[in-house]
């Protein structure tokens, strides 16, 4: 061990910390910071390996787990055999930027669903029910049955639905434009039932298709193939592993 220290997770902090070393192999865990951290280290001439900790039982299954011991373990595994780290290839910056539009829309849609469920659930407590309708017309029909005593509590929620609908429509137009500019997405949209959202989510999550030796591996990458727990003569048939990207799988 040549050096052990805590480093601020900023571009300047990382640059200063590794300035004393020449071109080296850097092992980091995948996470919310890992994509830009990898960019910083690569720009300084280092080779970067991004480990998938969920595939390294030595990391996530230990009873005595600390950041310092994790770092030491990553270094030792990287020194012995890189494949033990189940290296992750992160998507391009451009793909990450475009994917934000899809995820932002998803957050808004989920928020709208929660508001609608809240209003429906509240009214049911008073023996009232909103007729079955689409999300765009829910606020109108809900106001028809909301009693006067509940207006102060529920009216702000109903007003927020209008704003959420408008912002979701903005993202829908943005996603349509992104899909129209993507040749792979246009190919996927030729399949019946596949729209701009699904096509873009697939293209941006896969990003570089050439990293898969065979197309059949994509199913396993997305967690759509059965999990395995074979030992001796025991080889039970299990459910899909769900080990991949939950956003795309949904």
Give the confidence band of 228 by pLDDT, cuts at 50, 70, 90.
confident
Q: How confident is the model at residue 149 (pLDDT cuts 50, 70, 90)?
A: very high
- Tell me: pLDDT of 243 over 90: no
Nearest-angstrom CA–CA distance, 69 and 48: 20
pLDDT tens across 179-214, in order?
Answer: 999 999 999 999 999 999 999 999 999 999 998 999
DSSP-derived secondary structure for 50-108: EE-GGG-HHHHT-SS--HHHHHHHHHHHHHH-GGGG---PPPPHHHHHHHHHHHHHHHH
Q: Which two tokens stand for residue 240?
A: 């899909």
pLDDT cut 90: percent of the chain above it: 67
Dist. CA 128–CA 159, nearest whole Å: 20
CA distance 183 to 144: 47
Question: Using one digit for the tens of pLDDT, what is the confidence trace for 17-28?
Answer: 888 888 999 999
pLDDT reported for residue 229: 86
Judged by phi (left if over 0) then psi (alpha if -120 to 50, else beta), residue 39 lies in alpha
pTM: 0.81
Q: Nearest-5° angle of CA 215, CA 34, CA 41? A: 105
Q: What does the pLDDT look like over 49-98, one tens digit per residue?
A: 999 887 887 777 778 888 888 889 999 999 999 998 989 888 889 999 99
Provide CB contacts within 8 A for 49, sequence distance 6+. Answer: 25, 26, 27, 28, 78, 82, 85, 87
């Amino acid at each position: 061990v040549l050096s052990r220290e805590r480093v601020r997770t900023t571009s300047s902090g990382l640059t200063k910390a590794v300035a004393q070393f020449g071109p080296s192999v850097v092992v980091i865990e995948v996470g919310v910071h890992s994509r830009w951290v990898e960019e910083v280290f690569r720009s300084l001439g280092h080779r970067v390996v991004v480990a998938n900790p969920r595939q390294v039982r030595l990391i996530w299954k230990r009873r005595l787990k600390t950041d310092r011991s994790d770092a030491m373990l990553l270094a030792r595994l990287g020194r012995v055999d890189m494949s033990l780290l189940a290296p992750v290839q992160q998507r391009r910056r451009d793909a990450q930027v475009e994917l934000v539009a899809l995820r932002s829309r998803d957050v808004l849609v989920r928020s709208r669903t929660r508001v609608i469920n809240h209003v429906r659930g509240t009214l049911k407590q008073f023996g009232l029910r909103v007729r079955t309708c689409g999300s765009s017309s829910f606020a109108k029909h809900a106001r028809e049955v909301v009693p006067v005593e509940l207006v102060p509590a529920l009216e702000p929620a109903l007003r927020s639905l209008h704003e959420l609908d408008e912002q979701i429509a903005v993202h829908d137009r943005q996603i349509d434009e992104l899909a129209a500019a993507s040749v792979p997405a246009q190919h996927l949209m030729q399949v019946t039932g596949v729209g701009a959202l699904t096509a873009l989510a697939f293209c941006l999550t896969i990003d570089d298709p050439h990293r898969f030796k065979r197309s059949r591996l994509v199913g396993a990458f997305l967690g759509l193939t059965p999990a395995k727990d074979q030992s001796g003569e025991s080889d039970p048939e299990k459910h899909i592993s769900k080990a991949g990207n939950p956003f795309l799988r949904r």
